[in-house]
Chain A
C-alpha cells in the first residue's frame, strides 16, 4: 500500500489565527473559553459567510505551508455539522416572529444545504475535481482525513485538501443546552467534578498527498470507523464502539498498542463521554499516556477532529505530550493513564480518537514521517 502524507496545516480557533497560535495556547495552558463558549476573535465582514471566512483563513495557511497552488483536479473533502448556518439562522428565526419577509427568507435559505459550503470553497480555489462533505457529527473531520487517504491510495486524486469548519450558532448552543450537556465553567475532561462541554468554533485544514510528498509533517498511517448502535446521544457505557474504531486504526497502521506514544482523546468533559472513552482507551492501550486539550479550545463539533489533529502534528514535531488541562481530581472510575503535566519525549505514533452523536466513532494514527526517532 502506498503511503499518505500531510504536508501543510492551518487552523483558526478561539485561541486565534494560525496553527502555531493554537499550539502555543496548549503549551501555555491558556484557555480561551469565556462563559462556557469558545469564540474566534471576530473579524469577519458583516453579511459575509463566517464559516467561509474561517475556512479561508485555515486553508490559506495550509496551502502556503505545503507550497501548493490549487489545481483543478485536486480533491476537496470538508466536514461540518451546520455549514453556513450564520447566513440563514437569524432570517429563519425572524420569519417565525414575523420580522422578515418570505422572499428575504428564501434568499437566505439558499445557503442552508450543507453542500453550499463545498461549492463556496470550490469556487474560491477554482477546484473542479471530486468534492465531498462529511457530516458524521463530531467524528466528521476525523473521517474526512481518512477518506482523503483512501482517495489518494485508490488513485482517484493525487492531492486532496481536507478541512473541518464549525461556527457557533443558536441551533447548537440552544440544542446542547436542551440536552443539559453545556458547562458554563471551563470544561474539565476526565475530572471527578466535570460538569459538561464547552462549545466552540473554528476551522482546520490539511494538504494531503501520496508518494513524492516533500517535507511531510507526518504520515497519515491508520484509520478506523465504527458505530455504537447503542443510543442516539450517549456513547456505549463501556466504550465498545470507541474501542473498535481505535483498534481498527492500529490494524490499518500496522502497529500494536505498545507502539502508540500518546492518545489524544476526544475528552469533551461530559460525564458519559469521558467515562466511556477512558474505559476503551485503557482496555486497548493500558498505561499509554492519554490526554484531552478541549479545556483550551473547546469542542468545535465536526471541526474538532481537525483542530486536534493540528495539535497532534505539532506534538509529533516538537516531541511534547500536552497534559489534560483543568484536570485537578481524576475520576477514579476512569482507568486510562491520564497525563496532568506535559511530557517531553520523541513521539513516533499518535492515536487521535473521536466520538459523535449517532454513535459515530472514528480514529486516526499519525506517524513520524520516515520511521521511528
Chain B
C-alpha cells in the first residue's frame, strides 16, 4: 500500500490566541487544531466533510482526568466539562466538530508508538476504501502527574494522505522489510517533496 502525502505539519506549541471556540479546549485539542489548520492551508480544495481522522497519543487526556478526580476528591464536585474532556477521544470529537469532518474517526493510545499506528491505520483505511482522504496525527503534552514517564515527544505532527502514488510527491508505503523511524509523522513533516517513507507494519 502506497499513499501520497498532500500536506504535513509539525507544531511544538499550541496557539495562545484566545479564540472563543477554544475556550473549553484542552491543550491537546488546541495543538491538534493548530496542526490541522496548517494542513488545510496547504490543501485548500480538500472536502473536509468526508476526510478521515486518526489520532495517536501516548497519554491522551490524562491531565484532564487527574483534574476531574482531583476536583472530585478535594471539593466533592464532579465537573461535567472536565469529565467529557477526560475521554481520550475528546480531542478527535473536538476536531471533527470544529472542522466539520464527518468521515471515519478513531483514537489510538500507545505508550511509545502511537504515531506509527496512527499512520499505518490511515494507510489501511485508504487501502480498504473507507475514505479517499485521511489525516494521521500524533499529539501529546507533558503530564505533570507522571514525572518519570518518558514522553516520546511533546507537540503535534500530522499528515494528510490520499490514495494516489504521484511520484512527484512525498509518499509513504508499508514495507515489511523497512526499519521504522522513531517519529514517522514528524519525519513526513520535514521531508522534501519526492521523498519516500517506507514503514513496517509493526514498529
Distance between Cα atoms of A230 and B49 in the complex (Å) = 12
Contacts A96-B69, A113-B59, A147-B121: A81 and B87 contacting too (C-beta < 8 A)?
Answer: yes
CB-defined interface of A76-111 with B at 8 Å, one 1/0 digit per residue? 000001000000010011101100000001100110
How many cross-chain pairs have Cβ atoms below 8 Å apart between A and B?
197
Give A332-356 interface residues, CB cut-off 8 Å to B. Answer: 356
Tell whether A130 pairs with B92 under 8 Å between CB atoms, given A171-B65, A226-B102.
no
The answer to whether A97 and B130 touch across the interface, beta carbons within 8 angstroms, is: no
- Is there contact, CB below 8 Å, between A358 and B89? yes
Contact flags (1/0) for B75-103 with A, using CB distance below 8 Å?
A: 00011100110111110111011011111
Expressed in whole angstroms, the Cα–Cα distance for A306 and B158 within the complex equals: 30
Residues 126-146 of A, flagged 1 when their CB comes within 8 A of B and 0 if not, give 000111111111001001000
Q: How far is the CB of A304 from chain B (nearest CB, A)?
A: 14
Q: Do A110 and B149 contact each other (CB < 8 Å), given the known contacts A132-B108, A147-B121?
A: yes
- Is A114 an interface position by the 8 A CB rule? yes
CB pair B107–A150 under 8 Å, yes or no, is: no
**Judging by beta carbons under 8 Å apart, are B73 and A225 in contact?**
no
Asked whether A358 and B109 contact (CB < 8 A) given A97-B74, A147-B121, A227-B53, the answer is: no
- Closest B residue to A128 by CB, please name it: B202
Given the contacts A132-B117, A177-B78, A178-B80, A109 and B146 also touching, CB distance less than 8 Å: yes
Which single member of B69, B108, B112, B174 contacts A171 (CB below 8 Å)? B69
Q: Which residue of chain B has the shortest Cβ distance to A80 in the bound complex? A: B109
* CB of A329 within 8 Å of the partner chain: no
Q: Please tell me the number of chain B residues within 8 Å of chain A, measured between CB atoms.
A: 61
**How long is the Cα–Cα vector from A224 to B78 in the complex, in angstroms?**
34
Chain A residues touching B, range? 35 or more
A335 to B151, CA, bound (A): 49
Give the chain A neighbours of B13 by CB distance below 8 A: none
Contact A114 B69 (CB under 8 A): no
The 10 closest A-B pairs by CB, nearest first: A358-B93, A175-B83, A225-B104, A115-B111, A96-B73, A178-B78, A114-B109, A130-B202, A93-B73, A156-B201
A sample of 10 more A-B contacts (CB under 8 A), given A109-B146, A229-B102, A357-B93, is: A81-B87, A81-B88, A97-B73, A115-B110, A116-B111, A134-B108, A136-B106, A156-B202, A225-B106, A360-B105
List 29 A-B pairs, Cβ < 8 Å.
Answer: A92-B69, A92-B70, A93-B73, A109-B149, A112-B62, A113-B58, A114-B88, A115-B111, A115-B112, A115-B114, A116-B111, A118-B110, A135-B107, A136-B107, A137-B87, A137-B89, A147-B121, A151-B124, A156-B120, A156-B124, A170-B69, A174-B72, A177-B78, A178-B83, A224-B104, A225-B103, A227-B93, A248-B130, A357-B90
